Structures are given as structure tokens and as C-alpha cells.
Structure 1
Amino acid sequence: MFFKKKKPETPDSKNEKNFDDKELIPVYKDEFITIMKERLHHSADLNIKELSNGFTLIFLDTLTDKKMLNENVLARLEDAEPNPSEAFKHITVSGTSKQKYVEDVINSVLHGAVAVHSPGHPVIISAVVATQENRSLTRPENESQVLGPQIAFNESLATNISLIRRYLTNPNLCNESYSVGKQTKSAISLLYMKGIADDDMIDRMRERIKSIEVDGILDSSIFVQLIEDNSFAIFPQMLLTERPDRACAWLLNGKMIVLVDGSVQVIGAPQTFIEFFQSMEDQSVRWQIATFLRVLRVFSMIVSIFFTAIYVAALTFHYEIIPQTLLIPLGESRSRVPFPPIIEALLLETMIELLREAGARLPTKVGQTMGIVGGIVVGTAAVDAGFTSNILIIIIAVSALASFTTPNYMMGNVIRVLRFPLIILAGLWGFYGLMVGFCFLLIHLLRLSSLDTPFLAPFYPPRFEDWRDSIIRLPIGWTNKRPLQTRPLDRIKYAERKTKE
């Protein structure tokens, strides 16, 4: 009743097909052409060219470089004998291979290759003649800095890997290629330094990449959400960068990077919470200035998250913490405001987020003008109309300004969102609610991990040796060891004594 007996599949059945078995290349030309037309659904850009000596070429016009096809394939095959061995010898394209399955041939054609069929042979010669339409290399837009290299990744996977290899001219730089996505079959590359990166961590990343089953991967920001440890966490557990120098620094520290074809962002793993507040420029300036900047960023994060919530808690429940000299002007500024502090704060925070989102979606010049003029006009009008107080305008502006000091865009968005639940908790229960929210965030961070490594390292678990390059940054001579978080096979980067001398 609950189990239905399956009918045995007969070998003569034409309606049912075992998709685990790949289909072999037919030896007859007409049959091969028919199969390719059916599999590619008679696409308008499908081009079939039959040569006088018996060769048949199948390719997609929109994906192939016509000059390379004519010079390196067509001109070379005109005088060749019609068999796969002769075709393989005559074609002068580096990406040339032999294939015997229809699925592999279709996949290569969809990636810009030309399939060469020889009559009477069940083997296809595939030659990659794809167009190289790449955007020129530009300056980093989201991670701009004054000192250091001024170059960023682009959408070409080959170009991005070449940028990394120019920095790391080392034979131990390993590159593993994967194909992810049932529909897109996106090319994914995993890079790491052999002899430095931990083998268990590499195996863990390999398993996560291979276990992904989705229709397609269009960007690394989508891919990172599929391989991170906790997809329900609001905090990102892996970093994205558009800077080749930062990606190479991760590799030298025993980390791994993942590149997605068509994406300008490179994924680095594993990462810690404090690394989201570090910049590559910190390595280019003096260690005292780098330490000051890192402390300033962490302080700005705390101000951005808690400043407005403290204002709401103080005015709602805890007037006693406000100095008397400030209490009188504060009361005068709120005398015309008809809303309680929680509604007033939420209203202004929402208004700031609306202005920020509108400025980001508009063209660059219009967006900048919109943000500046909109903030001035709306803020002044809100105070004159009695919807809010002058002091809250200042507090909201400082909180919004502090959120921009975070050098990572993803973490900056997290800070923007966290302000709202903390304001609500402060408006409901005062400092007790703030403490509940803070404890919840701390416990959440303690439970997070990045590729099964502690997210709050080196503070929890405490690894005092790694504190040399965390919130503070000691001189270069003191940071000669790779972080323990990545469990590197070789911890020493350079001799500490010689560097100090």
C-alpha cells in the first residue's frame, strides 16, 4: 500500500533515460548535428560550418572570436586529413582538448569553444576561441586609500588570477577550479598557499563548494552566503575585497580566497570580527597612526550603535544621569515635541536611512546633492515644525557619520540595522533593555564562527600573541608570526631579530 514496486527498466526503452550515463559522440555527421541542434534548442546564434574535407565545426557566434576562429582553426583545417589526430595537431589554440561525451561538448561550446567533428570518429576536438571582452583595470571604488596599490579586480576570472600571481610569484600558490550552478555553471577558483594553509581547512572549504546545489551563481556576494557557517546571522562571517594586495595578504597569512567568474569581489576565509575594521592602508602608515585609526573605527562603531539608544533611555527613564546644566536646554528643546523620545528617535533614524538609500540609488552627482540638501532641509524643517529637538538632530547626525568610518560595506550595513532594535529596547526598558540587547549581541558573536574557527579571535578564546595586529598594530618587526586562527603549517613569516636590527 505504502510502497509501490518499481517497474524494471528495459534496455530497449526509448522514452526513459538514465541521466547518470553520459551520451557518447555519434560517428555520423548528420546525427551529431541533429543532437547539437536539439540540445541547444535551434538557437539563432548557433553556427554550423561544414568544410570541404569533411570536418564539421559547431560554435556560437555570440561567444566566439571570429579572428581567432578564422586564423587558428579554419585556416589550419583546410588542408588537414579528416581525423581527430590531424585536427588536434593543426589547431593552434592553447585551450584544445579531446572529448567523447555530448554533455562535455555542449558545455565547452557554451563557454566559447568550437567543436570540430571528424566523419567516422566518436571523438570531438574542442578549441576555446572565446571572446575576451573585459573591462579595463580601474581604481578601487569601495576600498579607496591614499597609500598602497591603486588597482582593483574586474569581472574576468583569468584577469583576477593573473593579478594575484603577479604579486605572489610562488609555485606554492595553488589554484583549484570548480563549476557551480545547474543553469549557469559558473567557474569558481579556490586559491591557497601550499605549505602555509591548513589542510583540514582547505578540505572543509572544498566540501562546502562541492555541496552547493543551486541554479546559478551570479556574484561572489551571493556565493558567500551559501558557504558561510551561519546564514541566519546578521553579521557577515567572511570578507569580500576588491583589492588584489589585500587578497594576497590573506594568502600569506594562511587564509584561502575564492574567486567567482563575473564578480569583482574576492572572498577571504576564515575571518575574525576585528578584521572588518582593518584596512590595507593600516600597513602603509606608521604603527602609531594605524593603531589610532583602528581604535577610532571601533569607537565609532560603538557610538553609532548605542548613542541614540542611550539618549532615548536617559530621557524616558533615567533623567538623573543627565547633568543639570544640560537638562534645562534639553527640556526647552523638547518642549514643543509632541512625541515620546522613542518615536522621535525612530522617526529621525528612518528619515536618515531614507535619505541615504535615495542618495545611493540616484546617479552619483544627483545622489550627493540629494543627501546634503535633503539632510539640511528636512532637519531644519523638522526642528521648526516641532517634530524633533535640536539635540537629537546632532545625535542622529553623529551616529550616521560614525557608521561611515567602518571600512567594510557589509559591516556598515549591520551597524545601521542594529540601531533600531536597541532604540526600541531602550524606549521600553531603559538601560536594562540596552543591557539585554548588548548581552544578546555579545552572546551571538561568541557563538559565531568563520569556517569553524572562532569569530571573536584573538579575544575569545584569548590568544595574546595575536593581539599584536588586532585593534592595535605594533611595529612590523613585532608582527612576524601568522595568526593562530588559521592554524598555519608555517607560523613564521620572517626572522623577528633581523627585522628589528
Structure 2
Amino acid sequence: MFKRRKVEKDVDQESPHSFNIESFHKELLSLVSNSEDLVFRTITVNEQNLAIAYFEDMVNPSSMQDSIVRPLEECTGEIDYIVIKNTINIAKLTTTDSITDVVNNLVNGTAYIFKEDDTHGILADVADKGTRALEKAETESLVFGPKISFTESITKNLNLIRSNINDPKLCVETFMIGSRTKKKVQMIYIKDIAEEENVNTFRQRITEIEVDSIVDSTVLAQMIEDNSFTIFPQFITTELPDRCTISLLHGKIALLVDRSPTAIIGPSTFMNFFESTEDIYMRWNMGTFLRLVRFVAIFFSILLTPAYVAVLTYHYEVIPSALLVSLGQSRSNVPFPPVFEALLLEFIIELLREAGARLPTKVGQTMGIVGGIVIGQASVQAGFTSNILIIIIAISALGSFTAPSYAMGTAVRILRFPIIIMAGLYGGIGIMFCFCFLLIHLLKITTLGRPYLSPLYPFRFSDLKYSIFRLPYQYLDKRPVSNHPIDQGRIPEKKARTKKDVDE
């Protein structure tokens, strides 16, 4: 588990700076390592000297000129920090006299304005955010439902969530993490739904992180997860605002990280990684069918290739006689044992997948299709592998791609390799050993202190309609018990069961 220590308060946080312009300029330059992009501007208004400090490439020039410089130059009478605050046309203003506060805000696109020999200065947020516009989700593609995705702006991401949940009970807590590069992290939950223990656990883990910088939300998820050594992801990371909204309404908690286009959702169980928002937008019977297809596909993806290796190595008697002849003919020219043959093809599939992901989009798609066909056909003709194994490997690869979560799909693909090796060494016994070990491991994993295999363990029959199945909406009158929501009701029970007739 990631080591967490309580972050001590900076001893210089409350130390005031010199309000002599020349002295403050020298002090500020020393703290920012004489950075050449620091602009320190002095203007004189009614024989009173004002200083403005900011980083040139971090601020919006038009906002600086129109909202700060021009109003100050037109100011009349005696000026102090209160007059400056009332004169500047910026929504987000903060009063401070701490040099540490000034430096920490300047690097985030804030300008600092003060009058010489005054007692305080003003921090004005004029940052040039430079974020991209709202676009269609790429890693989580959908047929039905909203297509919009999160961006790198935490403000836009929070606006997307608030526009979906216009509930005054929606709470947002802000944290600053990082000793060198401070990143804003926001914890979002609905106060009268999310369990207080889950909120406190999230809050404690975030505040106890001591690190120089957090690059992305996926890095933060690894720092606060329960078990850092398991291959299975313990928090869902999503770029879909609607998935985040649905999770919040079910009693979960979301984390947003500034400059990251994905949100963290927890607690997240094993079953949650096979759920898609499309299941909710489609009719209940279609959604249930697709979920069952995913579970069957993942089961085949993990066990189909190891079963092939075990049967050909130790258990020929289980193969039907009609199939045995064609299987023997297919493998007659293959010089390698089944375990090496399977590992070689699995490795080639991973090479194709990784190459296709790293190349540009159009080139990557061509590489995956052409490479798979050419290498597969050439491998059979050269006698490196059999036709039947290529079919099995293709089915296994397709099964792993059905998982809506990229992290879970990758975990499934990695799991195949040790199971194939055990199948080659011990046959069916090796597969059962791996399966039992995997089941025990999943039973031991927790997510935010909650069982990872819920609602299967501990078994909660009422939550199966939210995980394995998807029932009609009139039967979804309660929130999932596994999330321990405070307000459990979604639809009044009598109202949900009432039939609607045309003549009523």
C-alpha cells in the first residue's frame, strides 16, 4: 500500500513579506529562482506606487489589461488593499500578506497586486486555462446516451456534474496535493446518500498523501487504493460525466483532479468494471443480455487457451474422436509443444495490440487488421502453430476486449499467461489451482474497505439487479445495498408497482 504520512503545515505559511516594492521584488526573484518569465510591473496612481507581479505565460493578457491595470489607472483618491479589491473586475480575489501564498498562486496563473507600505495585497485569478473544448469520449465509446466527455479543466468537469445533478445536497470538498507541484483535487458526493464512513476514508487517504506531484487521476487512484500489489483495479476511472452521475446517485464518491480528463469513482466492486452506461439506456432485457455476454466472454478469455493447452498435453481422452482427427492433422507440422505454441501466439497478439495503440489512429487500425491476418496465415504455413489455436486465441482476445474498463481488460489478458504456463505443467489440475488461487485473492481484496466481490460475497440478492442483471425501472426502487447509502429509496415502492393504463 502507498505509504501515507500526515502533511505538516508549512512554517512559512503565515510569514508576511516586505511591502517595500524593491525589497519584495528581490525576495520574490530569489524564491522563483530568478525566472525570466516573471513580470514585475510598477504603476503610479495619484502619486501612489502600486506593484503587480505575475508570470507572463500563465495569465490572460486581455484580463490583465482590462480588469486590473486599466481600472487601477483610472482610480482616484487614496488607495489601499480594500480599494484595490473593490476596483479590480475579477470574480476570484483573495487578500494575503504571506510570501508563500503569493508564490504558490503565481505559478497557477494568479496576479499579485499591492500598494507600497500597505498591510496586505490582493491575489487575482487571471489564469489562461488553455483547455480544449468539450468533445466526444474516445476510450469509452457508446451507441446510446450522452457522448460528451470530461476535459483537462477541473472547473468544466465539475460544471458537467452539477448540470446533471442540480441537487443542493451535492457536496464538493477541495484539497491541494503536492509539495512541489500543487494539484487541486475535488471530492464529490451527495450528502444524504453517500455513507459517511466512505467519505471519511476517502478524505483521510487524500489528506495523508505526501508526494512531490500528482500527474493524473490514475496516479492518485493508485496512491489511495487498498492493495497496491494486486493486478485488479480497485477504483473505476471514467471519462464519462453520465457514468459519474449515475454512480453518485447510487451512493458512491467521485474524485476530480485538475488537468486530468478522468474521474475516480469508489468504492468500485469487481462487477462494476463490467457495467456500461449503455446497459441503462437500453431496454432491460437487452442490457441484461449484454452483461451476461461480457461475463461469459471474460470467462472464455481467461480459460479457453489454458484449456486447449491442458487437453492437448495431458487430457486427449476428453476430445471427441471426430475432432481429434482434424486436431491431429492441424498440429502434425507444428514442432513446438502446445504451451510454447500458445504463449508465442498470445505474445504476438499483445505485440499487435500495443503497436496498434501507439501508432496514429488510422495507421494503428490498419496495422492491427493486416498484421493479424498476415502473421496468422504465415504462422500456419510455416508450421509454427495450428489453425485451431489461432481461432482460440482470437476468441480469447475478443473476450478481453468486451470489458468496458480498459484496466480490467488488460488485467484479464495478463492473467492468461500464468494460467497457460500452469496448464502446460500440470494440466487441468494447474488450471483449477490457478482458478482457486484467483478466487481466494478476489475474496481478500477490498475497495475503500468494502468487499471487492460484493454482491456475490457477502451475498446480497437485492443488488444482483444492479450488477449481473438489469431489471425494469419499477423494480429498481432501492439503491444498491453494497454502497451503504443513507437514503436508500429511489422510487416509492407502491408507486413503482402501480400499473399505468391508457384510460386512467
| Same fold? TM cut 0.5 | yes
Residue 6 of structure 2 corresponds to none
Q: Is the 8 A contact 2:280 2:287 kept in 1?
A: yes
Q: Is the 8 A contact 1:25 1:122 kept in 2?
A: no
Correspondence list, 1:416-495, <5 A:
416-495=413-492
Q: Does 1:67 align with 2:62?
A: yes
Return the match for 2:320 from 320, 323, 326.
Answer: 323
Could you tell me how far apart the structure 2 residues matched to 1:154 and 1:439 are?
41
Correspondence list, 1:298-377, <5 A:
298-377=295-374
Q: Does 1:34 align with 2:52?
A: no
How many Å apart are 1:110 and its aligned residue? Answer: 1.1
Could you tell me how far apart the structure 2 residues matched to 1:497 and 1:49 are?
69
Return the match for 1:50 from 42, 49, 65.
Answer: 42
Q: What are structure 1's unaligned runs of at least 5 residues? A: 1-17
| Partner SS for 2:111 | strand
Could you tell me how far apart the structure 1 residues matched to 2:267 and 2:335 are?
49
Residue 134 of structure 2 corresponds to 137
Residue 80 of structure 2 corresponds to 83
How many Å apart are 1:500 and its aligned residue? Answer: 3.1
Listed one character per residue, the Cα deviations across residues 188-216 of structure 1 (whole Å, up to 9, x for unaligned) are: 00000011111111111000001111111
Q: Which amino acid letter does the alignment assign opposite residue 122 of structure 1?
A: T
Q: Which amino acid letter does the alignment assign opposite residue 485 of structure 2?
A: P
Could you tell me how far apart the structure 2 residues matched to 1:484 and 1:121 are?
58
Could you tell me how far apart the structure 2 residues matched to 1:494 and 1:94 are?
40
Q: Is the 8 A contact 1:26 1:122 kept in 2?
A: no
Could you tell me how far apart the structure 1 residues matched to 2:10 and 2:299 are?
56
How many Å apart are 1:182 and its aligned residue? Answer: 1.2
Could you tell me how far apart the structure 1 residues matched to 2:326 and 2:494 are?
59
Residue 101 of structure 1 corresponds to 98
Could you tell me how far apart the structure 1 residues matched to 2:482 and 2:247 are?
12
Q: Is the 8 A contact 2:12 2:100 kept in 1?
A: no
How many Å apart are 1:497 and its aligned residue? Answer: 2.5
Distance 1:21 1:108, change over 3 A: closer
| Partner SS for 2:54 | strand
Could you tell me how far apart the structure 1 residues matched to 2:165 and 2:394 are?
43
Residue 293 of structure 1 corresponds to 290
Residue 11 of structure 2 corresponds to 20
How many Å apart are 1:19 and its aligned residue? Answer: 5.9
| Partner SS for 1:51 | strand
Return the match for 1:148 from 145, 150, 154.
Answer: 145
Q: Which amino acid letter does the alignment assign opposite residue 132 of structure 1?
A: K
Could you tell me how far apart the structure 1 residues matched to 2:156 and 2:462 are?
37
Q: What are structure 2's unaligned runs of at least 5 residues? A: 1-8, 499-504
Residue 175 of structure 2 corresponds to 178
| Partner SS for 1:62 | helix
| Partner SS for 2:57 | coil
Q: Which amino acid letter does the alignment assign opposite residue 465 of structure 1?
A: S
Could you tell me how far apart the structure 2 residues matched to 1:480 and 1:139 are?
32
| Partner SS for 2:325 | helix
Residue 239 of structure 2 corresponds to 242
How many Å apart are 1:76 and its aligned residue? Answer: 1.3
| Partner SS for 1:97 | strand
Q: Is the 8 A contact 2:476 2:491 kept in 1?
A: no
| Partner SS for 1:480 | coil
Distance 1:131 1:347, change over 3 A: same
| Partner SS for 1:72 | helix
Q: Is the 8 A contact 1:358 1:367 kept in 2?
A: yes
Q: Is the 8 A contact 2:477 2:493 kept in 1?
A: yes
Q: Is the 8 A contact 2:187 2:256 kept in 1?
A: yes
Correspondence list, 1:265-304, <5 A:
265-304=262-301
Q: Which amino acid letter does the alignment assign opposite residue 104 of structure 1?
A: D
How many Å apart are 1:31 and its aligned residue? Answer: 1.2
Q: Which amino acid letter does the alignment assign opposite residue 49 of structure 1?
A: R
Q: Is the 8 A contact 1:83 1:119 kept in 2?
A: no
Could you tell me how far apart the structure 2 residues matched to 1:350 and 1:107 are?
48
For the aligned residue pairs, the C-alpha RMSD in angstroms reads: 1.1
Distance 1:141 1:163, change over 3 A: same
Residue 15 of structure 1 corresponds to none
Q: Is the 8 A contact 1:277 1:408 kept in 2?
A: yes
Q: Which amino acid letter does the alignment assign opposite residue 58 of structure 2?
A: L
Could you tell me how far apart the structure 2 residues matched to 1:219 and 1:275 are?
22
Q: Does 1:225 align with 2:222?
A: yes
Q: Which amino acid letter does the alignment assign opposite residue 77 of structure 1?
A: L
Could you tell me how far apart the structure 2 residues matched to 1:457 and 1:206 are?
23
| Partner SS for 2:185 | strand
Q: Which amino acid letter does the alignment assign opposite residue 383 of structure 1?
A: V
The percent of aligned pairs where both chains have the same amino acid is: 45
How many Å apart are 1:432 and its aligned residue? Answer: 0.3
Q: Which amino acid letter does the alignment assign opposite residue 392 of structure 1?
A: L
Residue 11 of structure 1 corresponds to none
| Partner SS for 2:112 | strand
Could you tell me how far apart the structure 2 residues matched to 1:206 and 1:167 are?
24
Q: Which amino acid letter does the alignment assign opposite residue 59 of structure 1?
A: Y
Q: Is the 8 A contact 1:24 1:122 kept in 2?
A: no
Q: Is the 8 A contact 2:39 2:53 kept in 1?
A: yes
How many Å apart are 1:147 and its aligned residue? Answer: 1.0
| Partner SS for 1:312 | helix
4+ long deviations beyond 4 Å: none
Residue 502 of structure 2 corresponds to none
Q: Is the 8 A contact 1:25 1:123 kept in 2?
A: no
Q: Is the 8 A contact 1:155 1:263 kept in 2?
A: yes
| Partner SS for 1:226 | helix
Residue range with higher mean Cα deviation, 129-138 or 234-243: 129-138
Q: Is the 8 A contact 1:304 1:402 kept in 2?
A: yes
Between the two proteins, the alignment pairs up a number of residues equal to 484
| Partner SS for 2:265 | strand
How many Å apart are 1:363 and its aligned residue? Answer: 0.8
Could you tell me how far apart the structure 2 residues matched to 1:123 and 1:403 are?
60
Q: Which amino acid letter does the alignment assign opposite residue 96 of structure 1?
A: L
Q: Does 1:414 align with 2:414?
A: no
Q: Which amino acid letter does the alignment assign opposite residue 465 of structure 2?
A: R
Could you tell me how far apart the structure 2 residues matched to 1:199 and 1:406 are?
31
